[in-house]
Structure 1
Amino acid sequence: MARILLVTGGARSGKSTYAEARTLELGTPAHYIATAQAWDDEMEARIAAHQARRGPEWVTHAEPLDLVKVLRETDTAPRLVDCLTLWLTNLMLGEKDWETAAKALVATLPDLASPVVFVTNEVGLGIVPDNRLARDFRDAAGYLNQWVAAAADEVILTVAGLPMKVK
């Protein structure tokens, strides 16, 4: 089984920077699988900031929906998937069956030869959202994170820029 690492934490917790460093420790060049979509100027700026801090040791793949396909296509070097919660957002807003997609992703992990580092947001520590879509998203993210964490060899929680080993 490939080495699977899940890095989770809240917004601006340092999870992406930590995950990038851990991925590069596994070898270069590394594949950066970006799930974000630039729906507005603010998101475009966030994507640009992530791209600006990556160097030539990264090969970037923009894939908002089909993670299984891109993980299979890039199974020649370490991969970083940033991030699962944006992927989940894309699936849910696109009215895709997120649960089937998530279970297919987890089922694929044991077949991969090269390491994968996943970034995800911990969204279940706050208040109960006031609308159904937000509650559905929070619940789906919780299940997705549990499933990937169960399949992962290691789970790291980042808080205030500090990594804490959970598994």
Structure 2
Amino acid sequence: MSGHHLILGGAKSGKTSHAEQLALKCVDKPVYLATGQAWDDEMHARIDAHKNDRVDKFITVEEPLNVISALEHCRSVSKIVLLDCLTLWITNLMMAEMSVSESVDALIHWLQTNAEMQVILVSNEVGQGIVPDNKMAREFRDHAGVSHQKLATICTDVTFVTAGIAKKLKG
């Protein structure tokens, strides 16, 4: 694998499993940069389950907001980083009232200037459903869609996963 890789898919589509397999083919113990935050007990249980699943395979770094700082830290740890997930990161940015556009642009700049590290970016494709019924949900959908477009432009590879089947869109 060379260059950065964007992997998109719906919820429970198999995108994270696909990303993990790619990362593990490249190095023995890649970094797993997790952006999820436990806002409730159910999410806390999900995060714990994910941690337990990858404990022996990945070096886990958790950072809900400042992914660039976390990526900088990861440079000395591994040449492969799996960043999961961009849509949770976007949610965290919105909840913290931070600029999603500026944050995504900063991430893109970082990715373009740090080609020695390969980053696998996982994100939920949220724009193929119904139009949300509230402003915040529509803004989230729009942020995700625009972010995916920008990232797809600079990534060497882009893959869409449905029902566990990965379809290469670019690369």
1:89 match: 91
Amino acid at match of 1:133: M
Amino acid at match of 1:41: D
TM-score by length of 2: 0.94
Cα deviations by residue, 1:10-46 (Å, 9 ceiling, x for unpaired): 0000001110111111112211100000110110111
Q: Are 2:66 and 1:75 aligned?
A: no
Q: Are 2:2 and 1:14 aligned?
A: no
The range that moved more, 24-33 or 130-139, is 24-33
Q: Are 2:154 and 1:151 aligned?
A: yes
2:39 match: 39
Instruction: Specify every segment of 5 or more residues in structure 2 that has no aligned partner in the other structure, as ranges.
Output: none
Amino acid at match of 2:137: A
2:163 match: 160
Instruction: Specify every segment of 5 or more residues in structure 1 that has no aligned partner in the other structure, as ranges.
Output: none
Question: Could you tell me how far apart the structure 2 residues matched to 1:155 and 1:45 are?
Answer: 30
Q: State how many pairs are aligned.
A: 166
- Partner SS state of residue 166, structure 1: strand
8 Å contact kept, 1:26–1:115: no
8 Å contact kept, 1:32–1:82: yes
Q: How much does 1:57 deviate?
A: 3.0
RMSD: 1.0
Question: Could you tell me how far apart the structure 1 residues matched to 2:155 and 2:49 are?
Answer: 28
The range that moved more, 96-105 or 47-56, is 47-56
**Where in structure 1 do 4 or more consecutive aligned residues deviate above 2 Å?**
none
Question: Could you tell me how far apart the structure 1 residues matched to 2:130 and 2:112 are?
Answer: 35
% of aligned pairs identical? 43
Which of these residues, 113, 116, 120, is aligned with residue 117 of structure 1? 120
Q: How much does 1:73 deviate?
A: 1.5
Question: Could you tell me how far apart the structure 2 residues matched to 1:55 and 1:3 are?
Answer: 26
